[in-house]
Structure 1
Amino acid sequence: MDTGVGGLIARLRAEREISQAQLADMLSRASGNPAVTRNEISRWESGRRRPRRYWLEWIAVVFGMSLFDFEDLARLATPSVDANEAEAIELRQRVAASDVGRATLEQLELAVDELAISYPTASPDMLLLRVRRHLGYVNQLLDVRKTLAEHRRLVVTGSWLSLLAATCSIDLAQRPAAAARLRTAAQLAEHGEHRELSTWCLETEAWQAVTDGDYRRAIKLSQGAQAVAPHGSSAFIQATAQEGRAHARLGHTRETLQVLSRVEHLVAPLKVPDRPEHHYRYDPGKSNAYVATTLSWLGDPGAESIARQVLRELEAPAYGQPRPRRAATARLDLSLALLAGSKPDEAIATTMEAIGSGRLVPSNFWRAKEVIKAIDARGVPEAADLRDAYESLKA
């Protein structure tokens, strides 16, 4: 059974939200060959049959990539955690070694931006595969002769990629791999003397502490990130917002509201960036989402209206593309706010939408569980359906 290719087809199809029948139709129209059917695609995805190379070429075309890229993604589709950690350690060790052209470095830097822009929409496992391919290329270039300035740019690029890989690993609840990649990213950021990158590394670690329930450590890390960050930078604002979320989890109302006021002051002069989807560029829309999360965790009645507004903006944004992953977690924020406002029926429906979206990642499962537990405590019969959906999601 070839589950690598089949699994990749299924993931790419789900990521684009198309059915097996739609994919069969797309392949038929692209190739001019009506031989492929929905049942055939089902057999491919289950691993019962491997597509012939003819169809692999057209599958790659339909998904907008080269056959080489498709096959490379399929080969990497099930990396082991040990391999992930070894990859991170290898990059860290080889940085100390010192002909890379300007065009190559610019291409890599553009690739980092494109990957960061893909983060809100791509599934983390598929994005991680793409990031790993670029990390492998950076590894190769570290052995190539280059100037000190080129070496520094390459190190910084490796740090961004390692940080994004760590973020994907956190999403996937791959803790040892995430920790290894974060250490690599932090060491490369220090080696490249890049303060904003160092800040993002600390902020990402703080976010992981929040998902782990270690809120006091998250506060400490967030404050450490703010001390390192260039004032007013995207990383500085994000670290400040992260501190507020951790305070909210601990029920520190006064501290939470103080932090939210600071964030509002920092965000006020910001303009919407050209690509607001970029994971490492702060924008006013992201600020609203953090306010909704923070207030819902605090149990503030004002969370509901903000959460509704955030959800509308994420699904039909005035700028950029819809962000379905963030919309799924925004629904969980709205559900908590609805429960605080004694609206359990709408909270149940909203939570079911979030779970059924297929966009929640393992690092956010605890948030769904928290909402379900709160609904369950109210003795609502529909809570059983939510629990079943949640267990199916985890499985």
Structure 2
Amino acid sequence: MIDFGDQVRRALKDQGKSLRGAAKELHYDVAYLSRVLNGKQAPSPELIQAVNEYLGLSLTLDDAEDHDDEMDAWELVRRVQASDVGPATLTRLERTFDELARAYPKANPEDLLRQVRKHASYVVKLLDAKKTLSEHRRLLVIGGWLSLLGATVHIDLKQDDAATARLQTAATLAQEAEHPEIEAWCFETDAWRVLTDGDYVRALELSRIAQDVAPAGSSALIQATAQEGRAQARLGNEIETYSAIERVQALSAAIGNPTSPEHHYKYDPAKALSYTATTLAWLGDTAAEPYAREVIKRLSPSDNVAYWPRRVASANIDLALVLVTGNRLDEACDSAQKAILSGKVVPSNHWRALEVVKAVEARSLPEASDLREAYQGLKAIEQ
């Protein structure tokens, strides 16, 4: 063992390398490497091979004299348990993600994206740190959720390339961590992205893939089913749309009320109301009206549109669409104008507001010019 240590130290000196630098390059604890080179602990075969490759040597197990299998076993356990990350750090990151996901319905997209980027960068840094296998998986899961949330915000901002990249990252991390719910959310989120681009057939396909991947009873399964209903509504498939609505309502009732109802990745009855309002409105069914009004009643914190969460703005657009269908045009214009002026209609939903504007213009209403002006102001903010 002394010969082994002597030869390694001599090679390090000749090549101008430090013990600490070698430990970092070889991904070994410097204290462990020091004990081996000082003859206080037997080197493992893996360490001998790593040292040979690093220093260009050809040392063997015999050079280390007596090989201690028991010590090797202890060292393996020590290395598996050694960590520069720690459970407290991971718990804080998990809580931070939950806070960001709860903030999503009301937060400014650009501000939220900055927070997501900051914490995702920290996760990347921790992935390079020494950690246990269980900590590594937890990091992959946290990184997957943050990438998914980032993709969702990019979609809201109509940043398709960035959204696609983050979705691919989230899916890869989900597969590595064997986390089917994140993977299902990736397909569901992509379904929403292509739906907002008008590719309803592809949205339907992606939503069904998401349902196949999603764990039974999960929020991802419910949301993917809802996404199928939206795509069917845009395709004008009435029977399939109503079927999807019934399945969403049944699944939502089965999971009950979540502890964090505003969490973007946890379904709740209020989301089922919003989903039904939108889906029926897109189908042209006047039954959407009570659902939209109920969403507005439940979630509006005040009459001041500036304090509205995003779902209230969307519900007003849904309400406007169904009111136009019923030729209640004054009310439709009022609801649409409130939604547009609230500032809570994200770029990915501008097309929904435009549908109301065009419907009002087609009827040559005097309010059409004011509504178009408000919509143009909305587009100007996006640009």
TM-score range, shorter chain: 0.7 to 0.9
Distance 1:155 1:323 in 2: 34
- TM-score under structure 2 length normalisation: 0.75
Distance 2:361 2:308 in 1: 29
- 1:20-74 per-residue CA deviation (whole Å, 9 max, x = no partner) reads xxxxxxxxxxxxxxxxxxxxxxxxxxxxxxxxxxxxxxxxxxxxxxxxxxxxxxx
- In the TM superposition, 1:334-349 aligns within 5 A as 334-349=319-334
The answer to whether the Cα contact below 8 Å between 2:308 and 2:344 also exists between their aligned partners in 1 is no
Return the match for 1:216 from 201, 204, 226: 201
Distance 1:329 1:265 in 2: 23
Distance 1:301 1:245 in 2: 16
Shift of 1:107: 0.5
SS at match of 2:255: coil
Tell whether 2:364 aligns with 1:379.
Answer: yes
Shift of 1:188: 0.6
Tell whether 2:187 aligns with 1:187.
Answer: no
Distance 2:314 2:322 in 1: 13
Letter in 1 for 2:315: A
Shift of 1:323: 5.5
Q: Please, what is the CA RMSD of the aligned residues? A: 1.3
Letter in 1 for 2:379: K
Name the counterpart of 1:29: none
Distance 1:157 1:325 in 2: 25
Tell whether 2:316 aligns with 1:331.
Answer: yes
Shift of 1:270: 2.7
Name the counterpart of 2:354: 369
- TM-score under structure 1 length normalisation: 0.73
The answer to whether the Cα contact below 8 Å between 1:243 and 1:259 also exists between their aligned partners in 2 is yes
Name the counterpart of 1:88: none
Name the counterpart of 2:278: 293
Bigger relative CO (Cα 8 Å, ≥ 6 apart): 1
Compared with structure 1, are the counterparts of its residues 323 and 229 closer, same or farther at alpha carbon in structure 2 (3 Å cutoff)? farther
Letter in 2 for 1:367: R
Letter in 1 for 2:222: I
Distance 1:265 1:150 in 2: 36
Tell whether 2:122 aligns with 1:137.
Answer: yes
Distance 2:297 2:191 in 1: 28
Distance 2:264 2:252 in 1: 16
Letter in 2 for 1:324: P
The answer to whether the Cα contact below 8 Å between 1:270 and 1:284 also exists between their aligned partners in 2 is no
Letter in 2 for 1:369: L
SS at match of 1:268: helix
Distance 2:312 2:248 in 1: 21
The answer to whether the Cα contact below 8 Å between 2:278 and 2:315 also exists between their aligned partners in 1 is yes
Aligned-residue identity in percent = 58
Distance 2:190 2:155 in 1: 9
Tell whether 2:289 aligns with 1:304.
Answer: yes
Letter in 2 for 1:162: S
Tell whether 2:92 aligns with 1:110.
Answer: no
Name the counterpart of 1:282: 267
SS at match of 1:379: coil
- 1:90-121 per-residue CA deviation (whole Å, 9 max, x = no partner) reads xxxxxxxx921000000000011000000001
Distance 1:270 1:310 in 2: 20
- 1:131-179 per-residue CA deviation (whole Å, 9 max, x = no partner) reads 1110111111011011111101001100100000111100011111111
Distance 1:257 1:385 in 2: 35
Return the match for 2:214 from 200, 215, 229: 229
- In the TM superposition, 1:99-178 aligns within 5 A as 99-178=84-163
Distance 2:344 2:292 in 1: 18
Distance 1:274 1:268 in 2: 15
SS at match of 1:269: helix
Compared with structure 1, are the counterparts of its residues 227 and 323 closer, same or farther at alpha carbon in structure 2 (3 Å cutoff)? farther
Shift of 1:316: 4.5
SS at match of 1:376: helix
- 1:306-358 per-residue CA deviation (whole Å, 9 max, x = no partner) reads 111111112149xxxx8611111111000001111210111001111011111
Distance 2:142 2:308 in 1: 25
Distance 1:148 1:275 in 2: 29
The answer to whether the Cα contact below 8 Å between 1:301 and 1:341 also exists between their aligned partners in 2 is yes
Shift of 1:379: 1.2
SS at match of 1:117: helix
Distance 2:254 2:200 in 1: 30
Distance 1:101 1:177 in 2: 31
Tell whether 2:239 aligns with 1:239.
Answer: no
Distance 2:106 2:171 in 1: 25
Distance 1:258 1:219 in 2: 14
Shift of 1:381: 1.6
Name the counterpart of 1:31: none
* Count of residue pairs brought into register by the alignment: 294
The answer to whether the Cα contact below 8 Å between 2:217 and 2:255 also exists between their aligned partners in 1 is no
**Higher-Rg member (1/2):** 2
Distance 1:323 1:220 in 2: 33
Distance 1:168 1:257 in 2: 29
Query: Please, which runs of 5 or more residues in structure 2 have no aligned partner?
Result: 1-82
- In the TM superposition, 1:348-363 aligns within 5 A as 348-363=333-348
- 1:164-200 per-residue CA deviation (whole Å, 9 max, x = no partner) reads 0111100011111111111101111111100000000
Shift of 1:271: 2.0
